Amino acid sequence: MINPESAQPTSPAPAEDVVVAVRDVHYAVDGRPIFKGVDINVRRGRITAIMGPSGTGKTTLLKLITAQIQADRGQVLVFGQDLAKLGVSETYAVRKRMGMLFQNGALLTDLSVFENVAFPVREHTDLPEPLIRMLVLTKLEAVGLRGAAELMPAELSGGMARRVALARAVVMDPELLIYDEPFVGLDPISLGVILRLIKQMNVALGITSIVVSHDVKELASIADDSYLLSDGRVAAAGSPQELMKSHSEAVRQFMTGGADGPVRFHYPACDYTTQLLSAEDCE
């Protein structure tokens, strides 16, 4: 159940069971606070959903977890290592244990499907070509696109491109797989395929997954644990079903897609009428 005091699951995971630990993280951009004390545990072998309205810092959280940026305060631990204390080579070593599915796939447009998937293997290993070929074809088969190996990204549909990107993300057999808005722009069939693949990959490969999205229905069908970000903090945590039963107005508004509620549509601004009638913009 949801713990209203800390918005954390009531049964804490053992330390060795936690792959990513975000502890009291504060982060601001140009003085504007993005996080004001975020605590999140990503447990081994599970799918953890990170949800929240646009602008709540979901992608920023991924940047913290992948050591692209550092927290102003607090700790981000991945595989038990404090990212703020790692050198360049140690940071790269941690990143090699991760796979990333970027928004919109982010395929390299001048490379074929085969070469896109092979790219991380060529970059980080000295494996012989026959073994690389076997690895790539195996991963493409897993996402149903072995027959598209010689196609170029421009020849793929949006759903196919996302599946190629998923094959690339898992080709190095990562321990942690991160999905950044994997459902955006997908038709219902492609969406169903991606949902099934996320679940199957997690089970078949024994990996840990973080899925960042605002698609409540889709996340509820695959997530083991969920965190809802709001106003710089974790507003609620638990299973998707527990979040659906939350008594918090902000949580209910997000989970049901309500237009009215604590989460406002308009960005904070001065009085509308005053600004329209004034010769200068208000502060």
pLDDT value at residue 248: 66
Cα 252 to Cα 57, 80, 247, 249, 259: the distances in Å are 19, 34, 7, 5, 11
pLDDT value at residue 121: 92
Give the architecture (CATH level 2) of 1-97+212-283. Answer: 3-Layer(aba) Sandwich (3.40)
Helix (H) or strand (E) holding 34: strand 32-43
Rounded to two decimals, the pTM is 0.79
CA distance 67 to 257: 32
Coil, strand or helix: which one is 51? strand
DSSP class of residue 9 equals: B
Domain boundaries, the chain: 1-97+212-283
Q: What is the pLDDT of residues 32-41, one digit of tens each?
A: 888 999 999 9
Q: Give me the tens of pLDDT residue by residue for the chain, a chain 283 residues long.
A: 334 444 545 455 555 689 999 999 999 988 888 899 999 999 999 999 998 777 788 889 999 999 999 999 999 999 999 999 999 999 999 998 998 888 777 899 999 999 999 999 998 889 999 999 999 999 999 888 999 999 999 999 888 898 899 899 989 989 999 998 888 777 787 788 888 888 888 888 888 999 988 777 788 888 899 898 888 888 888 777 777 766 666 666 665 555 555 455 445 567 767 777 776 666 6
Task: Encode 70-93: b = buried (16+ Cβ within 10 Å), e = exposed.
Answer: ebeebebbbeeeebeeeeeeebee
pLDDT value at residue 4: 41
